[in-house]
Chains A and B, each alone.
Chain A
């Protein structure tokens, strides 16, 4: 194989790099473990991965703080280096790429042209629609224009972070820029939402590995991979036994807090938050917020910033184990007719969407 020839499949790349079968198998076992797949799936991943083509990946950033990318670059299993060298061809990322200015915009145009219909688009950040989208422009084009142009040839879109998935902080009340999530603009492409502020590093990379090997993963009503968003934090929390026993911390320095009791009364949103923090954990598996003594903020849920009044107000007792309240709140808002400002209209429209999906899946309604 000449060096000039592009390495097409992942097996080509691994063979060229002299990666042993056991090393590869270990990678697959580790990945299956992170994707919360049955351990037996590791051999399926191994088979699929070897014949998979390295997909072209275009990473776009809009209204965001780059926290998601910071998180992604801290993924250690699979590591982002490993992914970039062996599994994907990261053709455009304006933060990570060496090129700048016209050279980087040309790289985007080339990647789209050469892989039209096949590339995976990864998006972080919401997109502002207010005043014609002037609040976020890059290279003289508005975010909404870049998004719609780039999405046309995409095979699928992975929304990384709560901003691109659900609007996030730019979308928070009073949403001065008219920010919306990607799903409000792109309606004709498969969208995978990897929510969280930021998402867990391994959840981002594992979702990408899943896409490369087994295609689009099974998704929940909010289009999030069920492997990571199938359980609430509360369901998997190691402090759950204290909740069941009725042992609660009442303040951050009382006896209950020191004993590691349940943080429900300190506003923990674990019962209504779907994410993998309690099992995958953070900082290379060190811990997660509750393990550090702080309640869950619910950052992977739509409208987490505006929900429930305060991060430190306890959830209403009726919410535990029931359908989350976002849809209901939007329904009330619409019924009362508080839609004076264009911003509010925009907000209730995008809120109504997950509610409708929830209605379809909820057995109670």
Chain B
């Protein structure tokens, strides 16, 4: 079978764009802007409870920059996986309140890649409407039971 994606083909890019050394923990020039933006969004969230987000696909990132951002933000304590029309992974980074959100389609292709600056990403939280619907579904089932029906 032939390679399906560009990343499957081994290509060596010499003299790539900005490089970050994770060993020394320094941040490359291209990353400083985005890190500042994240810092500002975190402050807005803390002060005004105003969430923010950054669409990583719109940034002209080289794979090196992308990897550097991942390393710079690091890993936090929470990781959530949603099974919604494909897998979605939501990972809190080393900076509390900064979530790295990856949405994949049923073919496991990345269809959205975002940073969300929020307490918990909206898609995770169950809404009151849904809770009310659950309650009525459960009540309905119980009423069938008390009327002599069978709960499976």
Interface residues of A (CB under 8 A from B): 20-23, 25-27, 29-30, 32-33, 36, 38-40, 43, 76-77, 235-238, 240-241, 247, 259-260, 278-280, 284-287, 291
* Residues on the A chain within 8 Å of B114, using CB: 29, 33, 39
Interface residues of B (CB under 8 A from A): 5-6, 11, 13-15, 17, 51-55, 57-58, 60-62, 82, 84-86, 88, 103, 105, 107, 109-114, 116, 122-123, 127, 129-130
Q: Is the CB of B105 within 8 A of A22?
A: no
Given contacts A23-B85, A285-B110, A286-B6, contact A29 B15 (CB under 8 A): no
Q: Is the CB of A33 within 8 A of B57?
A: yes
Among all A-B residue pairs, the 7 with the closest Cβ atoms: A39-B53, A33-B112, A22-B84, A287-B6, A30-B111, A30-B112, A241-B17
18 A-B residue pairs with CB within 8 Å: A20-B84, A21-B130, A22-B82, A26-B85, A30-B103, A33-B58, A33-B112, A38-B53, A39-B53, A39-B116, A236-B60, A238-B17, A238-B62, A240-B60, A247-B15, A259-B15, A279-B57, A291-B6
Q: Nearest chain B CB to A83's CB is how many angstroms away?
A: 15
Q: A26 to B105, alpha carbons, bound, how many Å?
A: 10
Q: B54, B85, B86 — which one has the most chain A CB atoms within 10 A of its CB?
A: B85
Q: A23 to B130, alpha carbons, bound, how many Å?
A: 13
* Residues on the B chain within 8 Å of A240, using CB: 60
Q: Is the CB of B60 within 8 A of A278?
A: yes
* Residues on the B chain within 8 Å of A20, using CB: 84
Q: Is the CB of B123 within 8 A of A286?
A: no
Q: Is the CB of A77 within 8 A of B111?
A: yes
* Residues on the B chain within 8 Å of A33, using CB: 55, 57-58, 111-114
* Residues on the A chain within 8 Å of B86, using CB: 26
Q: A20 to B84, alpha carbons, bound, how many Å?
A: 9
Given contacts A33-B111, A237-B60, A285-B109, contact A259 B85 (CB under 8 A): no
Q: Nearest chain A CB to B101's CB is how many angstroms away?
A: 8
Q: Nearest chain B CB to A21's CB is how many angstroms away?
A: 6
Closest Cβ neighbor of B83 among chain A residues: A22
* Residues on the B chain within 8 Å of A36, using CB: 55, 58
Q: A104 to B28, alpha carbons, bound, how many Å?
A: 60
Q: Nearest chain B CB to A336's CB is how many angstroms away?
A: 41
Q: Is the CB of A25 within 8 A of B60?
A: no
* Residues on the B chain within 8 Å of A280, using CB: 57
Q: Is the CB of B122 within 8 A of A25?
A: yes
Given contacts A39-B54, A285-B110, A286-B6, contact A26 B103 (CB under 8 A): yes
Q: Is the CB of B84 within 8 A of A26?
A: yes
Q: A36 to B56, alpha carbons, bound, how many Å?
A: 10
* Residues on the B chain within 8 Å of A25, using CB: 122-123
Closest Cβ neighbor of B18 among chain A residues: A241
Q: A26, A247, A278, A286 — which one has the most chain B CB atoms within 10 A of its CB?
A: A26
Q: Nearest chain B CB to A193's CB is how many angstroms away?
A: 22
Closest Cβ neighbor of B5 among chain A residues: A286
* Residues on the A chain within 8 Å of B15, using CB: 247, 259
Q: A25 to B129, alpha carbons, bound, how many Å?
A: 15
Q: Is the CB of B53 within 8 A of A40?
A: yes
Q: A257 to B103, alpha carbons, bound, how many Å?
A: 34
* Residues on the B chain within 8 Å of A21, using CB: 127, 129-130
* Residues on the B chain within 8 Å of A247, using CB: 15
Closest Cβ neighbor of A31 among chain B residues: B112
Closest Cβ neighbor of B15 among chain A residues: A259
Given contacts A259-B13, A279-B58, contact A26 B123 (CB under 8 A): yes
6 further contact pairs, Cβ within 8 A, besides A22-B82, A76-B107: A29-B112, A38-B53, A39-B53, A259-B13, A259-B14, A287-B6
* Residues on the B chain within 8 Å of A29, using CB: 103, 112, 114, 123
Q: A117 to B80, alpha carbons, bound, how many Å?
A: 47
Q: Nearest chain A CB to B14's CB is how many angstroms away?
A: 5
* Residues on the B chain within 8 Å of A236, using CB: 60
Q: A29 to B55, alpha carbons, bound, how many Å?
A: 10
Q: Is the CB of B54 within 8 A of A77?
A: no
Q: A20 to B122, alpha carbons, bound, how many Å?
A: 14
